[in-house]
Amino acid sequence: MKVAVHGIFLAFFLIVQATWLEAIAVFGVKPNLFIIYIVTLSCFCSKKEGAITGFFFGIMLDFVIGKALGLNAVLLLALGFLTAQFCEKVIRKNSVLIVMLITLITSVCYELFYYVVSFVGDLEFKSVFFRTLLPECIYNSLMTLPVYFVIKKLSNRLWVDKGEIIG
C-alpha cells in the first residue's frame, strides 16, 4: 500500500512541480515539493523507507528537470535517510513546527550542495544565496504545513490498521 501511495504522490508532484508551481512562485522562487515530501515522510518512517523513497523521487526529478543525472537521486536518498535517522534518534514526537524547522535546515543543506555542484564558478554565491536559495528554503518550510497534515492523516488511516505504522 505504501508503494502505491508514494507512486501517486510522485506522479502528482512531477506534474505540479513542472507546471502549476509557476502560478504560486514568489519573486520567481518556487518550492521544491520533492524535498518537502521526502523530509516530511522521513519524519514518520524508517531510514530504509526514507532512503528508498528519496532515491526514486530524486531519479524521477533528475529525468524531468535535473541538470546532472543522479545528483537529485543521491541528494534525496541521503536527505531521506539522514532525516529519518535524526527523527528516530532525537525527536520522539513530530510536531508540525519541528518538521517545518527540519525542512528549512535540510532545504538549506540540499540547495547549498546542489548549487555548489551544479554551478561551480558560474554564479556569484552571495547573490544566489539571498535571491534564490534562502527564499526557496523558507518557502519549502512554509509549504510543509499542508503536506505534513496529509502524510500524518495517511499514516494514521492507511498504515496503522495494517501494522505498517510510520511515525
Q: What are the cell numbers at 2?
A: 505504501
> 162 pLDDT exceeds 90?
no
DSSP secondary structure letters along 107-138: HHHHHHHHHHHHTTTTS-HHHHIIIIIHHHHH
**How would residue 157 be classed by pLDDT, with cut points 50, 70 and 90?**
confident
Q: Which residue has the higher pLDDT, 163 or 119?
A: 119
Tens digits of residue pLDDT in 2-59: 888 889 999 999 888 888 888 888 888 899 999 999 999 999 888 999 999 999 999 9
pLDDT attached to residue 26? 84
Q: Are 117 and 71 in contact (CB under 8 A)?
A: yes
83-100 mean pLDDT = 87
Q: Are 33 and 143 in contact (CB under 8 A)?
A: yes
How many secondary structure helices (H) and strands (E) does the chain include?
A: 7, 0
Q: Which residue has the higher pLDDT, 104 or 112?
A: 104
pLDDT attached to residue 163? 45
Say which CATH topology domain 2-159 has.
Answer: Arp2/3 complex 21 kDa subunit ARPC3 (1.10.1760)
96-105 mean pLDDT = 94
> 119 pLDDT exceeds 90?
no
In angstroms, the Cα distances linking 134 to 41, 84, 94, 163 are 22, 23, 24, 39
